[in-house]
A and B are shown apart, each in its own frame.
Chain A
Amino acid sequence: MKIPISYNIRNLIIRRTTTMMTALGIALTVAVLLSVFALVEGLRTSLTATGHPLHILVMRKGATAELNSSMTQEQFQTIKVKQGIAGLPNGEPMASLELVTVIILESPDNPSGINISLRGLTTTGFAMREYVRIAEGRMFQPGRRELVVGKGLAKRYPKARLGSKLDFGRGEWDIVGVMDGGQSAANSEIFCDLAQLASDQNRESGLSSVLIRATDRASMQALMNNLVDDQRLNMDAVSEKSYYEAQTSSAAPIQFLGIFVAIIMAIGSSFAAMNTMYAAVARRSAEIGTLRVLGFSRTGILISFMIESLLLCLLGGIIGCLLVLPLNNFTTGIGSFITFSEFTFNFRITPGIMLMGMTFALVMGILGGLFPASSAARKEILTALREI
């Protein structure tokens, strides 16, 4: 290539207004794309971080979520004595009967309220979720209307903060703790005592699901088969991890829309880059002719203008990445079509996503630069020298 890159950089600096306008257009496109990817990545990370690899979720056959599943105490008694279930130090099996329902929580952004998952469970259920710890306050006490809220909710909903009261069911519930579930779905849920919730909701005989832990991986599949095959139960059994991973599909419409918008914007940005580069070629026609007279080949000219286009878009890519950086760890929520409740999670801007944004910017650089660069390379020397 031989034509020094400093030649391209200085030309970009000299026409700094055009350079910045084009780069900003590209930056916005990259920012839109990265925001969508950061959202999906945050959701995916959160969902894949939820669950223990040996956990099995047992739900009514045909139920797609705990919310529309049902489970009786009798079924639970049958399940908890199955072979292959790990035990707690006190000898009790690691099996948690749970009730999942939704409550409506208002926020300044959503005055009409949004569905939030409320999970009733026992101390066994809480103990089985080792990735959840009480970050503030304390654990709820059995037999009391007490709640422990996920930190994501506490952050987003003023009404769900420690010390507040929530009014649902048969009375007021006190928020006595905030739990930190790492990146997991527990951050989007509210935990309370199973018996208290079941009583409040008149669902003592209609609970939701059972979470059990297998002793090891080898016995996990056998246990799941056993549960599914047991005619008395009429239950499905899935690994807890796969249950949550399947919910990543909630982000599919947003991902599709985001990518669609980004592609439309990218086409526009590529044209902007192309326009800028065509103007650069036209303005520097005599320089192109001079470089050819000095001995630089058509290929050298092509590469030089391509590099300039790539540098322009690289600048746009960097600005785009910087624009979305403040989004990193920003807590947001998304409605799940599976659980019919909001799932809170943090935007995650990973190095991989930034690399994807830069690659996207470079693709725009290639698309925008190819035609102007090849037109520069195709110019006949004398024609180029005569053009002003």
Chain B
Amino acid sequence: MTEAVIKTRQLTKEFIRDEFHVVALKDVNLTINQGEFVALMGPSGSGKSTLLHLIAAMDRPTSGDILVLNQSLRDLGEREMAHWRNRHIGFIFQSFNLIPVMSALENVELPLKLTNLKKKERIEHAMTALNLVGLGDRVNHLPRQLSGGQEQRVAIARAIVTDPDLILADEPTGNLDAASAQEALTLLEKLNRDYGKTVVMVTHDPHAASFASRVCHLGKGVLLEQEPSLAQ
């Protein structure tokens, strides 16, 4: 029996932007099981990124419940949330968000600074992750010395280096050319298929969504429909 790793019930997020009351998510009920590769699709402002941020414990819901890896995120304090993110979440950004003054290896090693691993072990883990994304020969390069595709692969290595339970990707191919996007998506697919990682990806791109096992559509903050990916 597959285990649910993400469960939301009546999940709602509202906020005030420029004096306007915005409902970013409304009563979203969603369950994502262990080992799934789910794509969240929808137009801009549909609430897909908001949902991803709530799953990543980067934000708090206005109402409703969110249970991730059997942990109610509403119950966590600031420090516990930070620790929880480090232990359980690997996050991939659209703009890669690498630290510009750090080399590829240092960027990947960074999340491990929060673990009890010794320096040598951290380097070994970071090297393993970089080799996995095919950048074992670019470890000492700074982000500006890498192509966009390579930067995103470093970001993926950083996301997986702590061996997280969940990999969350926010438009990971949004800033990449077609070839680099294909590489990034293939990597995510590999992490899901070969390593059993649960992946949740926000995307506009139907081609990117085709790598997922399930596609969830959102519109105006509401979960509209869920369907198996075209590729399935």
Binding site for B on A (CB under 8 A): 2-4, 6-7, 10-11, 14, 286-287, 289-299, 380-382, 385
Using Cβ atoms and an 8 Å threshold, which residues of chain B touch A290? 93, 97, 99
Using Cβ atoms and an 8 Å threshold, which residues of chain A touch B113? 2-4
Pick from A3, A294, A385: contact of B86, CB below 8 A.
A294
Using Cβ atoms and an 8 Å threshold, which residues of chain B touch A286? 95, 97
Using Cβ atoms and an 8 Å threshold, which residues of chain A touch B82? 292, 295-298
Using Cβ atoms and an 8 Å threshold, which residues of chain B touch A381? 53, 58-59
Check A295–B87 contact: CB distance below 8 A. yes
Check B59–A382 contact: CB distance below 8 A. yes
B231 at the interface (CB under 8 A from A): no
Question: What is the CB-to-nearest-CB distance from B202 to chain A, in angstroms, rounded to a whole number?
Answer: 14
Check B79–A297 contact: CB distance below 8 A. yes
Bound: A297/B77 CA distance, A = 11
Using Cβ atoms and an 8 Å threshold, which residues of chain B touch A292? 58, 82
Question: What is the CB-to-nearest-CB distance from A155 to chain B, in angstroms, rounded to a whole number?
Answer: 51
Question: What is the CB-to-nearest-CB distance from A333 to chain B, in angstroms, rounded to a whole number?
Answer: 51
Using Cβ atoms and an 8 Å threshold, which residues of chain A touch B59? 380-382
Pick from A287, A289, A295, A299: contact of B114, CB below 8 A.
A295
CB within 8 Å for A296 and B58 given contacts A287-B99, A290-B93, A290-B97: no
Question: What is the CB-to-nearest-CB distance from B58 to chain A, in angstroms, rounded to a whole number?
Answer: 5
B129 at the interface (CB under 8 A from A): no
CB-based nearest B residue for A289 = B97
Binding site for A on B (CB under 8 A): 53, 56, 58-59, 78-79, 82-83, 85-87, 89, 91, 93, 95, 97, 99-102, 106, 110-111, 113-114, 158
CB-based nearest B residue for A1 = B113
Using Cβ atoms and an 8 Å threshold, which residues of chain A touch B158? 294
Q: Which of A3, A14, A293 has the most CB of B within 10 A?
A: A293
CB-based nearest A residue for B58 = A381
Pick from A293, A298, A299, A380: contact of B91, CB below 8 A.
A293
Bound: A298/B78 CA distance, A = 8
Check B93–A294 contact: CB distance below 8 A. no
Bound: A290/B86 CA distance, A = 12
Pick from B83, B95, B101, B111: contact of A14, CB below 8 A.
B101
With A287-B100, A294-B114 given, can you name 9 additional A-B contacts, CB distance below 8 Å?
A7-B101, A289-B97, A293-B58, A293-B89, A297-B78, A297-B82, A381-B58, A381-B59, A385-B93
Pick from A2, A7, A380, A385: contact of B99, CB below 8 A.
A7
Bound: A128/B106 CA distance, A = 70
Interchain Cβ contacts under 8 Å between A and B, 16 examples:
A6-B106, A7-B102, A11-B101, A14-B100, A14-B101, A286-B95, A287-B100, A290-B99, A291-B99, A292-B58, A293-B91, A295-B82, A295-B86, A296-B114, A298-B79, A381-B58
Using Cβ atoms and an 8 Å threshold, which residues of chain A touch B111? 294-295
Using Cβ atoms and an 8 Å threshold, which residues of chain B touch A14? 100-101
Question: What is the CB-to-nearest-CB distance from A24 to chain B, in angstroms, rounded to a whole number?
Answer: 23
Using Cβ atoms and an 8 Å threshold, which residues of chain A touch B110? 291, 294
Using Cβ atoms and an 8 Å threshold, which residues of chain B touch A291? 99, 110
Using Cβ atoms and an 8 Å threshold, which residues of chain A touch B101? 7, 10-11, 14
Using Cβ atoms and an 8 Å threshold, which residues of chain B touch A297? 78-79, 82-83
